[in-house]
Amino acid sequence: MNNRKLDIPEVQQIPQFMKIMDDLSVGNNPYLVGSAGTGKTTIGEKIAYAIKGRAENDGQELPFTIVNCNQWTSPIDIKGGQTISGYKEGALIEAWRDGKVLILDEMPKLDANTAGLLNDALAKSAREDAIIFNGNNEPIKKHRSFGCIATGNVIGKGASGNYVGNNKQDASLLDRFSGCIYRIGFNETLERQLVYPAVVDICLTIRKSILKYEGKEAGDDDTEDIMTLRTMLNFERAYELEMKRETGMKDEFGKTYRKMPNGKTLKDALHSYFIAMTKEKAEHIKTEINLEGFLNSYKSSGMKQAFITEFKRRIG
């Protein structure tokens, strides 16, 4: 894992990036903890590309395999076993054998007994030529490039008021990640790099107001109503389509984007976001940030030109 390609654009904006890569390179198992939507899984995917010396989305086989952990994740999903259509190899075995990064997405959602199937492999991550057994009880030798990254909303030591689908995990499993736990929270530098200025500005203003309303510190992502990077990117996709229509841009086939009656807008996305809050809280925040003023100005001539400039910068 010494062949590192660091042309992933966000490397310098993610303080933990190199530390996580270093952990994988020496056989440690990083655990990324943070609220939903803060980019934990995305970071894991980017690191898998970087540590393999590859650029993202290069058209080759993915350098990682993901287990979307939940209460129905079975031993077959982890180590493999017989199904009605024949033997199915588990994600752990595939990564172990082929030298991929195993991403355990939302690991605390696993049933603790199922999660225990990971113990042996994760204890051997740093050993050369280590052996584990698949669902057919066949010995599988570890590829030198195998690595594992887990993610979770919580550490896994107990219940959470915000994330009730998690299970308490055995201390022996959590010990496999000891010294390699990273808090992934709000990252305004990264958010500003990835999201159009008009969108990120209003989103950061909303976040600040939410934290103030809930009496939380500026960097606290353990909030009842969160404003995450994922939410911003959801807004951005609607905003970009809307502004392409507003400015009469052309698509890849040379056809002009036309305004569509009742088409999705950034205004729609923002109103939808506030529906999830209590009415009192939503109205308080809308007033405090002057949401109406923003909605009346984000399609002004100056803002349209700013969008065009940023769009052209992005496409090079």
Residue 104 CB-density burial (10 A; 0-12 exposed, 13-18 middle, 19+ buried): buried
Identify the pLDDT of residue 39: 82
Tokens of 153: 């909303």
Identify the band that residue 165 occupies on the pLDDT scale cut at 50, 70 and 90.
low
Identify the pLDDT of residue 161: 45
Domain range list for the chain: 11-183, 188-315
Identify the pLDDT of residue 14: 78
Spell 186-208 as b/e; 16+ CB within 10 A means b.
Answer: bbeebbeebbbebbbebbbbbbe
Identify the pLDDT of residue 16: 87
Identify the pLDDT of residue 164: 45
Query: What percentage of the chain reaches a pLDDT higher than 70?
Result: 91
Mean pLDDT, residues 223-246 taken together: 91
Identify the pLDDT of residue 149: 97
Identify the pLDDT of residue 31: 95
Residue with the larger pLDDT of the pair 91 and 216: 91
Residue pLDDT, tens place only, 42-92 = 889 989 998 988 888 888 999 999 999 998 999 999 999 999 999 999 999
Residue pLDDT, tens place only, 21-33 = 999 999 999 999 9
- How many degrees, rounded to 5, is the angle at CA 185 between CA 224 and CA 165? 50
Parallel, antiparallel or unpaired: strands 181-183 and 64-68: unpaired
Mean pLDDT, residues 256-273 taken together: 94
Tokens of 116: 């225990």
Mean pLDDT of all residues belonging to the chain: 89
Residue 57's DSSP bridge partners are none
- How many degrees, rounded to 5, is the angle at CA 69 between CA 277 and CA 71? 85
Residue 148's DSSP bridge partners are 102
Pick one of 3.40.50.2300, 3.50.50.60, 3.30.300.30, 3.40.50.300 as the CATH number of 11-183.
3.40.50.300
Cβ atoms 186, 219 nearer than 8 A: yes
Identify the band that residue 1 occupies on the pLDDT scale cut at 50, 70 and 90.
very low
Identify the pLDDT of residue 25: 93
Residue with the larger pLDDT of the pair 108 and 219: 108
Mean pLDDT, residues 122-148 taken together: 95
Cβ atoms 132, 76 nearer than 8 A: no
Q: What is the DSSP letter of 101?
A: E
Which candidate, 160, 159, 154, places its Cα nearest to that of 174? 154
Alpha-helix runs per DSSP H in the chain: 17-25, 40-51, 75-79, 91-98, 112-115, 119-123, 171-174, 188-194, 197-214, 229-247, 266-275, 279-289, 291-295, 301-315
Estimate to the nearest angstrom the gap between the alpha carbon of 93 and the chain centroid.
23
Identify the pLDDT of residue 35: 82
Which among 2-16, 52-66, 118-132 has the top mean pLDDT?
118-132
Question: How far is it, in rounded angstroms, from Cα 62 to Cα 121?
Answer: 21
Residue pLDDT, tens place only, 187-213 = 888 888 889 999 999 999 999 999 999
Identify the pLDDT of residue 316: 75
Mean pLDDT, residues 116-136 taken together: 94
Q: Which of 97-101, 134-138, 226-230, 263-267 has the lowest mean pLDDT?
A: 226-230
Helix, strand and coil percent figures for the chain, each rounded to 5: 45, 10, 40
Question: How far is it, in rounded angstroms, from Cα 150 to Cα 160?
Answer: 18
Given a cut of 80, whether residue 260 has pLDDT beyond it is yes
Question: How far is it, in rounded angstroms, from Cα 206 to Cα 263?
Answer: 24
Mean pLDDT, residues 133-160 taken together: 86
Residue pLDDT, tens place only, 281-313 = 999 999 999 999 999 999 999 999 999 999 998
Give the CA count within 13 Å in the CB-facing half-sphere of 156. 27
Identify the pLDDT of residue 69: 94
